[in-house]
Chain A
Amino acid sequence: MTQADLALGLTVLVGLLLRGAGLLLGGALRPDHPAIAWASTVSVATLAAFVTLAIAAPSGLLATVPLAARLAGLAGGALAWRAFGSRLLPAMLGGLATLLLARLATG
C-alpha cells in the first residue's frame, strides 16, 4: 500500500467519523456551538490557504503558467461572476478563457 492509498483510506475514515459525529450531535448542539464554529473556521482557513498557494505558487503543470496569466484568470473569473449574476459556470468559463488568452499573450 502506498502513502497515497493510506492517506486516502484514513481521510475516508475520518470524514465518515466527522459526519457521524454531526448526525449524532444534531439536535443536541446548536450550530453556533464553539466546537462547530471552530471546525467551520479551520475548514475555511485551510481552503483559503490552499487556494492562495494554488494560484500564487502552484506545483506541477500549473506552475508552467505565468503568474500574470493565473492572476488574470482569477480576475476574469471574478468579473464574469459579477457580470453573470453570481452564476458559477459562466464565471469559471470566463476565468479559464482569460487564463488561456493571458498565457498566449505572455508567451
Chain B
Amino acid sequence: MSGPLALTLAGQGGIRLYAVDALATADGLRPGMLLADARALSPDLIAMPANPAADRAALARLAIWAQRYTPQAATDGTDGLILDITGCTHLLGGEERLLTDLADRLGRAGLTCRLAVGDTGAAAWGWARHRSATAGPVLPTGTRSWVSLLSLPLAALRLDEGVCKDLARVGLRSVGDLQRQPRAPLAARFGTGPLRRLDRMLGVAADPVVPEMATPGWQVHRAFADPIMTRDAIETALLMLLRDLSIRLEAAGRGVRRLRLTCLRTDTTAQNISIGTARPVRDPQGLLNLFRERFDKIDPGFGIEMMELTATGTDSFTGEQAGLAVGGGDAFAVMGLLDRLVNRLGEDQVGHPLPRDTHRPEQVMELVREVEGKTDTGTLCSPTLRKLPACRTAADATTPTSPWPKPQPTRPLPARPRTWAMEGPRPLLLLHPPEPVQVGSGLSWRGHYLPIDWLEGPERIRPDWWRARIGPTRDYYRAQLADGRRLWLFRTVDDRGAWYLHGLCA
C-alpha cells in the first residue's frame, strides 16, 4: 500500500481525520481535519474508518502482554502504556536492555513505539513524547533528571490544549518556565492542574500506576471441550476445580472464606454463585456440599463452556490444629452446620444475639450475622462473635454405680445471665414493630376485646439522649388478661398518648 493513509471518524461538520501516518503528515494533514479538505491537499489519500473501541481493546491486550516485564502494567491514555518496572529490570539485565528487548518485540509485532524510562510516570510520559531527537530514552535518577525535564516544552506536562495556549500567551513555553514561577499566583490564575502535573513529573507528588488487571491470587478455571449441562457434570467439574484450588491453598497455608463460581455459558452470559464460610476451609468435598445448596440457581441454558472459581476472600488456615483442643470436634461440627445454614438460608437469616447498650427495648438485642465475624455499627459491647459457648463435654455423663442405674436428672443451678440483666419486667417475645391497641377498662386488639386483670407499672423508658433521632418517651406496663396471658404494653408520653402492644410476657 503506497500513498498517505488516514483513519477517519464521523465528527463535527462531516467526516474528520482521526489519525494520519507519516506520509500524510508530510502532505500537511493533521488529525481533526475534514476529510474533504484532506483530499484537496493530498489527492491520493487512502482513508479508512477508525474503530476507537477496538483500539482501546487492543491496547488493553497489549498492557496485559506487557505484564511479562512487570505485574504493574497499565494503559495510559488512548495511545500509551505505562509500566512500573521498579525492581524488575535486573531480570533483563538493566533498564537499557529492557528497553531494547521491548523495542525489538514490539518491532517484530509491527508496532512503532517511543520508549522512555523516568523516575515518575509523568516524567516518562513527557520524555517519551517530547524529548529532542538526539536525547537518549533513559532519564537520570533523582534531581539530575531535572535539567532534561525542565527543558521540555509545556505540552510534555500533559495539560489540556487550552491551558497550554493560555500559558504560552503569558510567555511560559517550557516546563522550566513554569517551574520558576511563584506558585500561588500561578495556581490562582490557571488552577492547580499545571502545578500538580509539574509536581508529579518532578517526583514531588505521588504518581502511582494502577495496573490494568489485578492478578487474581486464587483463581482456577476449566474450559470444556463440549458444553456441559447436567447437574452431575457440573458437580464433577466443580469438584475438580475445588481440588485444584485446594492444592494451591494448601501450599500457601490458607483456606477460603468466600468463593465465587462463575459459569460462562455458550450464549456468552455468565452466572455467579457465591458461598461464604465462618472459618477458613479448603476441604474440596465440604466446599462442594456448600455449593450444592445453591446449584438450583444455575441455569445451564444451552450449556456451560467454562467454569471459573475465584476465592474472593482467604484467611490463614488454622483448621486441623484447633480440632485437637478439648471439645473442638463438636465446635467444628457446629461451625460446619452454621456454614450450611448460612449458605442455604442466607446471611441475614442466621444470627447470634448480642446485647446492645441502649434504652430502646427493640434495639437491646441485636442479631449479629454469623459470617461477618463482627458487628456492623454502633455496638458498645465487645464484638466477640465467633466465641461460641463451650460445647457439651463428658461431664454430663454421670458414672453409673449399678448396672441399671435409676436415671438421675442432672440440672445445674440456673442463674440470671448477667449480660441481659434488666431492671423491670421484660417480655419473652418482642413484637416489632409494636402493634397499636386501645386500652380502656380492657384491651382492644385486632378487633377483640380482652378484659384486663391487673396492670403493673409504669416503667418510664426514655429514648437514647445521645442519639440524634429521638422518639417519644414511653411508659411501659405489664398487663395480665383475664385468661391469664401477660402482655407488655406502652403508652407514648406525648400529646397522642397512644397505646401499643410491644411484647408477650411469659
Are A and B interaction partners? no
Interface residues of B (CB under 8 A from A): none
Interface residues of A (CB under 8 A from B): none
